[in-house]
Amino acid sequence: MIGRLSVPRMVGAYALLLLYYAFFLIPILWIVLASFKTNSAIILGNIIPSLSDLTLNSYVDVWQTPGVRTFLANSVIVALGVTAISLVVSSLAAYGLSKYRTRGRRGLLMLILTSQTFPGVLILVPFYTFVLQVNLNNTFLGIMLAQTSGVLPFCMWTLKSYMDAVPDALVEAAQIDGCGRLATYLRIVLPISLPGLAVAAFYAFAGSWGDYLFVSVISGSDNTATLPVFLYRISNSQQMTWGAIAATSVLAIVPVMIVFAFVQRWLIEGLLAGSVKG
Amino acid sequence: MHPGSDPAVEDRSAAAKRAGHVPGPDLALTAILSAPQREWFGYVLALPALLLMGLVVLYPIVQGAILSLTNASTLTPGRSFVGLQNFQQIFADPVFSTALVNSVVLTGVAVGLELVLGMGLALLLCLKLPGIQIFRSITMASWVIPIVATVMMYSLMTLPHYGLFNIILDSLGLRQWDSYWFGNPALAMPTIIMMHVWRNAPFFGVALFASMRTIPQDRYEAAAIDGASAVQRFLFITLPGVAYVIMIMVILHVLFTFNNFDVIYISTGGGPVDTTMILPVYVYRLFWQNYQTGVAAAVGVIMMLLLLVFTVLYVTRVREQEA
């Protein structure tokens, strides 16, 4: 939107960018650094540690903490489950509402849109009672259903926006060529919407991976609790050191960052499709 | 894809007419059958999503509204209708007004800062600078980090004496402020606002940046020829061009921030001495610590009513765009 910049303006722009990204990145760097420091180095209060202050001990400690591997495995199972359910359910709904002129379609779309604006705590009060009644408390399924409902509206809107861009003529041509409805969906519509699927998958994964509220309420035991619950618990425990808390935080950040790196190039467009463009 | 206006079917029937043939019954049948079939199939595809949203969101919302008018409790079985008694109890509770004020202040200040900082970031990201692509690609990093980990980052930076922020304060000679910020009544809320801004300002920046790129370049060129200053170009071209995105982002973040539970529950739990008590944490406390299901639901209903204007704005704006 603006052409070439003069040198002083360029310097100014870089200075501002550095300020912004210092604000965004320093908290991340600080906790990563702390996870590699000895506990005595953390409480020294030096910004730059000496080489002898660096250690992998915090990671070793965390890995040997009872239960941590279960929490990690639970996080992976729940996040992958939520991603799979969200993708199947939301892409089918997006296809139906994008490519079929269903009566009342606008109303359904708006209903799904509205549902992400309700307070989670209000939903949880009656939902918790329901979960108890049908014995879904302390189950992966109960947690996954709750988390899926949280990410579904966004996933569906993102995918619908990508599917709207698939020409109707292409869908019709496929059906005339003898492609069944599901074959058209699987072979024509889904491959074209791949960036949307990547963003929706990421949103579902990250939403589930980072969720604390639903897990803390629905999971009553360590058998189903995930990493955020573990992290919150050790942060309140007197036995855990800041080194271990930092290492666990890094453990919680790394998987989602790896997935982020993969979808990053579509993320901006996809996030806009799901929230802003409608 | 309007049923009956299927172009291929029309082409073939038109071709048949030109050739002097009446469309065969097979074609007519296809045209008739396809209309109801298509409509019906759209519902089938959307059914799993609707069932899930109905079960996990709409049913609980309706149940919550009913519960808010009862004396339901997790301690005693059964419940009876008590009218608006729960609401009277809430309005008489000073913690409710504290939570309400804190929720409004937190939401207003955080979303306001996110918009201003996001706008500045978007303008910077638009610049044609060497290496700008790197900045663009890492912008959303803070947004994807689990909130629990974000709280741990800020706890670690605001620890007394050896947290980064307090190291900086000490070196500036402001030793009297050296404290655990989440435990300091004067600093807890500002730190929480900072966490929200840290997490969401990049999303504002990226959304506004993407929106700015859709503004036709020739408008800027024409304005520059007419002698418009940079400020004028921003006010009369950029701002109107991104107005829709601003509105949607603000509405969405007002809803998300007002409803957010995790950030405050994990960092301060509403303390110290209720200085960061907000409505979602208040609901949680009523339900899980006081076992007052009906009262908790009533607070939830109040939250929903307060947000109704934003929900309606959001839905109508998106609907206009969709039309």
Whichever domain contains B242, its CATH number is 1.10.3720.10
Q: Report the pLDDT averaged over residues B264-284.
A: 95
Which among A93, A117, A248 has CB closest to B45?
A: A93
Q: What is the mean pLDDT of chain A?
A: 89
Q: Report the pLDDT averaged over residues B150-173.
A: 92
Question: Do B172 and B41 have their domain in common?
Answer: no
Q: Is residue B129 part of a domain?
A: yes
Question: Do B57 and B90 have their domain in common?
Answer: no
Task: Examine the pLDDT at B20 and tell me if it is beyond 70.
Answer: no
CATH 1.10.3720.10 positions along chain A are 60-277
Predicted confidence at residue B94, as pLDDT, reads 96
Question: Do B315 and B222 have their domain in common?
Answer: yes
Q: Report the pLDDT averaged over residues A180-207.
A: 90
Q: Is residue B77 part of a domain?
A: no
Which among B126, B202, B279 has CB closest to A2?
A: B126
- Is there a contact between A252 and B148 if contact means CB atoms under 8 Å apart? yes
Q: Is residue B75 part of a domain?
A: no
**Residues, chain A:** 278
Q: Report the pLDDT averaged over residues B29-41.
A: 55
Element counts in chain B: helices (H) and strands (E): 17, 0
Question: Do B46 and B175 have their domain in common?
Answer: no
Residue in A with minimal Cα distance to B291: A125
Banded pLDDT at B122 (limits 50, 70, 90): very high
Question: Do B168 and B313 have their domain in common?
Answer: yes
Q: How many C-alpha atoms does A203 have within 13 Å on its Cβ side? A: 31
Cα–Cα distance, B254 to B200 (Å, whole number): 11
* Residue-number span of the structural domain to which B110 is assigned: 86-322
**Residues, chain B:** 323
CA distance B20 to chain A (A): 24
A15 touches chain B (CB under 8 A): no
Task: Examine the pLDDT at B31 and tell me if it is beyond 60.
Answer: no
Domain count of the fold of chain B: 2
- Is there a contact between A212 and B244 if contact means CB atoms under 8 Å apart? no
Which residues 116-135 on chain B approach chain A with CB closer than 8 angstroms?
117, 120-121, 124, 126-129, 135
Residues 6+ apart with CB under 8 A from A100: B1, B38, B39, B41, B42, B45
Question: Do B11 and B141 have their domain in common?
Answer: no
Question: Do B94 and B171 have their domain in common?
Answer: yes
Q: Which of A40-44, A72-76, A147-151, B298-302 has the lowest mean pLDDT?
A: A40-44
Question: Do B60 and B156 have their domain in common?
Answer: no
Which residues 184-243 on chain A approach chain B with CB closer than 8 angstroms?
206, 209-210, 212-213, 227-228, 231-232, 235, 242
Cα–Cα distance, A78 to A140 (Å, whole number): 6
SS3 assignment for A107-161: HHHHHHHHHCCCCHHHHHHHHHHHHHHCCCCCCHHHHHHHHHHHHHHHHHHHHHH
A37 touches chain B (CB under 8 A): no
A3 touches chain B (CB under 8 A): yes
Q: Residue B241 has which token pair? A: 């061009």
Q: Which of A64-73, A171-180, A184-193, A224-233 has the lowest mean pLDDT?
A: A171-180
Q: Which of A1-5, A46-50, A84-88, B44-48 has the lowest mean pLDDT?
A: A1-5
Banded pLDDT at B199 (limits 50, 70, 90): very high
Q: Report the pLDDT averaged over residues B189-214.
A: 95
Q: Is residue B80 part of a domain?
A: no
Q: Supply the pTM of this predicted model.
A: 0.89
Predicted confidence at residue A246, as pLDDT, reads 95
Chain B partners within 8 Å of A246 (Cβ): 152, 156
Cα–Cα distance, A68 to A80 (Å, whole number): 18
Predicted confidence at residue B323, as pLDDT, reads 58
Banded pLDDT at B115 (limits 50, 70, 90): very high
What digits encode the pLDDT tens for the residues A54-107?
999 999 999 998 889 999 999 999 999 999 999 999 999 999 888 887 777 888
- Is there a contact between A242 and B121 if contact means CB atoms under 8 Å apart? no
Q: Is residue B78 part of a domain?
A: no
Which among B57, B198, B315 has CB closest to A149?
A: B57
What digits encode the pLDDT tens for the residues B209-240?
989 988 998 999 899 899 888 899 999 999 99
Question: Do B49 and B185 have their domain in common?
Answer: no
What digits encode the pLDDT tens for the residues B275-315?
999 999 999 999 989 999 999 999 999 999 999 988 888 88
Question: Do B132 and B161 have their domain in common?
Answer: yes
Q: What percent of chain B has pLDDT over 70?
A: 87
Q: Report the pLDDT averaged over residues A121-134.
A: 88
Predicted confidence at residue B21, as pLDDT, reads 44
Tell me the CATH number for domain A60-277. 1.10.3720.10
Question: Do B27 and B138 have their domain in common?
Answer: no
CA distance B14 to chain A (A): 17
Whole-complex ipTM: 0.92
Residues 6+ apart with CB under 8 A from A72: A227, A251
Question: Do B178 and B57 have their domain in common?
Answer: no
